[in-house]
Amino acid sequence: MTIETGLFAGLVLDTLVGDPKRGHPVAGFGRAAAALERRLYRDSVARGAMFTAASVLGAAGLGAAVDAVGRRAAAPGRVLLTAAATWAVLGGTSLGREGLAMAVALEPGDVEAARRRLPHLCGRDPSALDAKELARATVESIAENTSDAAVAPLFWGAVFGVPGLLAYRAVNTLDAMVGHRSPRYLRFGWAAARLDDAANWVPARLTGVLTAVCAPLVGGSPRATYAVLRRDGAAHPSPNAGRCEAAFAGALGVRLGGVNVYGSRVEHRPELGDGHAAEPRDIRRAVRLSRAVTLASAVVTVGGRAAVLALRRRASARR
């Protein structure tokens, strides 16, 4: 039970402490990846794949080394190392704090403060967004990042332990760094973007289902939420973000989607959900839903790991 205990302890630590303001391990990985990118960059899919493989395998190798140290230590030592790794890769508490900061700005109508804060959540150009568009961007970011920052790390940690935790965070960080469709990264970032899609395929759908389960906590209906997830989840250009956003739209009774501006790039997203356009008052509900889904995912993924291991032990004992 050491890995399972460590995963839960890491989640508790993230809940209590959140991300450090300085010296975050993920930021350290980002700096190392950026240095490697400067050495390997070419406008080439092959070079991008080499960069992605080296970065992810390096993170997984570090995770394996940490896990090996934990195996040689007593059980409490392995729990502590797993908890530290889990805390380092989770971002659910910081996500909720950023969402609440947007609510604090938008509820009294301070649009300028909210515009300044939005880049902490997503890469959209906030300069022309009004209160409702800022609220929509916030709810959509909370929905997508509930999977990226919480559900997916717990899932891969439950499957592969510390190496899974660090490898997933490397994949997700690389996607944020080079996975977007800019002229520089259209080819070089292709492998990182596709690997991120693959790594998030199961967690995003798990997030959608758990959002339906948790919908009553924000006044929603599990059946209606799942119906919106089934109907609208695949309409989004992302194979994964759409599932999370559609489920949140259904649970919160809001309508998401529309025109998004990223610098000089404009994207027209399909509408998700049947309710009113997202408003500032919906942000706190989205944060509450995100926290509930995070806890539910820990119960499902870590509990699932414990159940599988117990079944294996029983099967081995019968031989």
User: Is the distance from CB of 278 to CB of 136 less than 8 angstroms?
Assistant: yes
Distance of alpha carbon 188 from alpha carbon 215, whole angstroms:
39
Distance between start and end Cα atoms, the chain: 22
276: closest CA among 248, 246, 247, 256?
256
Read off the tokens for 169: 């965070």
- Phi/psi for 13 (5° steps) reads -65, -45
Determine contact, residues 192/70, Cβ cutoff 8 Å: no
- In this structure, the strands spanning 276-277 and 254-255 are parallel
pLDDT digits (tens, 9 = 90+) for 34-50: 999 999 999 999 999 99
- 277-299: pLDDT as tens digits: 999 999 999 999 999 999 999 99
Q: pTM to 2 decimals?
A: 0.94
pLDDT tens profile 63-96: 999 999 988 887 888 999 999 999 999 999 999 9
Strand partners, 66: none
Residue 264 pLDDT > 70: no
